[in-house]
Amino acid sequence: MPLNSINPKLTKAWSKLQDHFNELEGNHFYDYFKKDSGRAHKFSISWNKFYFDFSKNKINVKTMSLFNELLNEIKLKSSIKKYFEGEKINTSESRSVLHTALRADKDDKIFIDDENIVPKISQAKNKMRLFTEKVLSGSHKGFKGENINTVVNIGIGGSDLGPSMVIESLSYYKNHINTHFISNIDGDHIHGILEKINPETTLFIIVSKTFTTIETLTNANTARDWFLKNTKEEDIPNHFVAVTSNVENAVDFGIKPENIFPMWDWVGGRFSLWSTVGLSISLSLGYDNFSKLLAGASKMDSHFRNSEFSENIPVILACLSMWYNNFFDYSTHAVIPYSEDLKSFSKYLQQCSMESNGKQTDRSGNFVDYQTGQVIWGQTGTNAQHSFFQLLHQGTKIIPSDFIGFRKPLNGNDLHHDILMANFFAQTKALMEGTALDPQNDNHKEFLGNRPTNTLLIDKLNPENLGSLIAMYEHKVFTLGVIWNILSYDQAGVELGKKLAKNILIDLKSNDFTNHDSSTQNLLKKFKSTE
């Protein structure tokens, strides 16, 4: 069954929230702390290795109560049940949304069309584990008998962003495998990587559900041609594997069936790192660490599925984003991790959130008359403090922000970590207080404060905690989609540009630009000009 189609603006709670917003508007939430010494305790959650403080937000007890009313009116609890149990909630594509099943326990039973999919998932995981062990142990060798020491992942979108982000984020746990990612169709990019690697010791992973994606297949064929300059066709199976649902095309490419890892249509690309798409993760970090990543996500799944809304971290994050997006008109959101290893995390969340919830129609196909989606961006602290924090503190745009920090450093350098985390705590304090305690006469030095932040303090950056962190944001995205009554798991907006690009490519070869508007015609002519 699909999710209920409920216009949030027509709920009683939405109307109450509007009245409540009018009451709160203009209040400085620093005053809430002065009036209530227990505020931080009221608006914080301890869960597993996470401490979530959302007290520095423009909310009070009444706000939280109204959030709960809204969630009940839109039937979030039943939506979560459908999400985890494999109902076809991606109705535009008639698909289930079950990336959560990829990290389920092997004894669980999750059905799609009366088939328990968990055994298939377990088989695929076992295949990944065995292949990883063969490569890392040296039993899977290159065509000249050399051990594999380099992995090149060729994919795009979720087939690239998720695995590359995880490997970068967990660099502390990385093994001897050198890992590269090729996604952009830019020929200079792939050329630069191919120049650095040795065909005798390199394994290519081609990740494409259909094995027809033009960017991925163009890059894959370029890699294949490069490989064959000094080798033979029969050497391809040692150096190329595929993650795909199109076995036939992969075999035609030269890949052995035993080196083809399955993909399923109930896993969207931007949520696929938990699947065989994560093969590069397994090879770079070891299967045990990949398994811990999944275990952490599974723990967050249980928290999201079973916790009351008032104690549910993803749900509260979603409600706060809705609150700022739809009532305060704060349309962007910054994610600022205080760990250099997480430098790609915000970029990963951009796809997870913006491709999911950047929608203009509701689940019934009607154009919405309220804001959906958020512009997600960010950078690591303390670097961010020396770039865009000026705007956060004194700009005219209010930008709610998530601050993510860790209690323990990975390398035991307490001096550096204390300085880092002193900045972490200082920034959220400054964004809230401004110069309220020490007002300045000079307006240039005045900080108005009243800038909302969430603080997430995590024990340590390890595979399990990273898995929980990623899953937390996945469930935030889902919750926002339910609130906004939109389809979060298709991406029709991505397809139009791809279709037009195919047509333009044909026109570039024929030099016939007459089917285009005058601007595009002129640009194409300029591109093809020899002058």
Q: What is the DSSP string of 41-86?
A: HHTEEEETTEEEE--SSS--HHHHHHHHHHHHHTTHHHHHHHHHTT
User: Are 459 and 49 spatial neighbours (Cβ–Cβ below 8 Å)?
Assistant: yes
Q: What pLDDT shows up at residue 436?
A: 63
Q: What pLDDT shows up at residue 27?
A: 87
516 has catalytic annotation: no
Q: What pLDDT shows up at residue 501?
A: 87
* Cα distance between residue 436 and residue 430, in whole Å: 10
Q: What pLDDT shows up at residue 349?
A: 97
Angstrom CA distances, 245 to 13, 98, 264, 496, stand at 44, 16, 7, 23
Q: What residue ranges do the domains of the chain occupy?
A: 8-73+307-484, 118-289, 492-528
Q: What pLDDT shows up at residue 492?
A: 86
Identity of the amino acid at 27: N
* Cα distance between residue 519 and residue 84, in whole Å: 48
* Cα distance between residue 73 and residue 530, in whole Å: 63
Q: Which residues pair with 178 in a beta bridge?
A: 150
The tokens for 201 are 């010791």
Roughly what angle, to the nearest 10 degrees, separates helices 61-73 and 12-24? 160
* Beta-sheet pairing, 453-458 with 50-53: antiparallel
Q: Which of 81, 134, 144, 498 is catalytic?
A: 498
Identity of the amino acid at 307: S
* Low-confidence stretches of the chain (pLDDT beneath 50): none
Q: What pLDDT shows up at residue 440?
A: 62
Q: What pLDDT shows up at residue 294?
A: 98
Alpha-carbon torsion (263, 267, 271, 274), positive or negative = negative
Q: What pLDDT shows up at residue 437?
A: 59
Secondary structure percentages of the chain, helix, strand, coil, to 5: 55, 10, 35
pTM over 0.85: yes
Q: Which of 168, 200, 355, 474 is catalytic?
A: 355
The tokens for 187 are 């020929």
- Torsions phi, psi of 229, nearest 5? -65, -30
Identity of the amino acid at 224: R
Q: What pLDDT shows up at residue 444?
A: 79
495 has catalytic annotation: no
Cβ density class 181-207: b for 16+ within 10 Å, e for less: bbbeeeeeebeebbeebebbbbbbbbb
386 has catalytic annotation: yes
Do domains 8-73+307-484 and 118-289 share one topology? The answer is: yes
Report domain 118-289's class: alpha beta
Q: What pLDDT shows up at residue 433?
A: 92
| Tens-digit pLDDT profile for residues 41-82 | 999 999 999 999 999 999 999 999 999 999 999 999 999 999
Q: Which of 106, 134, 386, 408 is catalytic?
A: 386
* Beta-sheet pairing, 115-116 with 111-112: antiparallel
**Does the 8-73+307-484 domain belong in CATH 2.60.40.10?**
no
Q: What's the chain's length in residues? A: 531
Q: What pLDDT shows up at residue 530?
A: 76
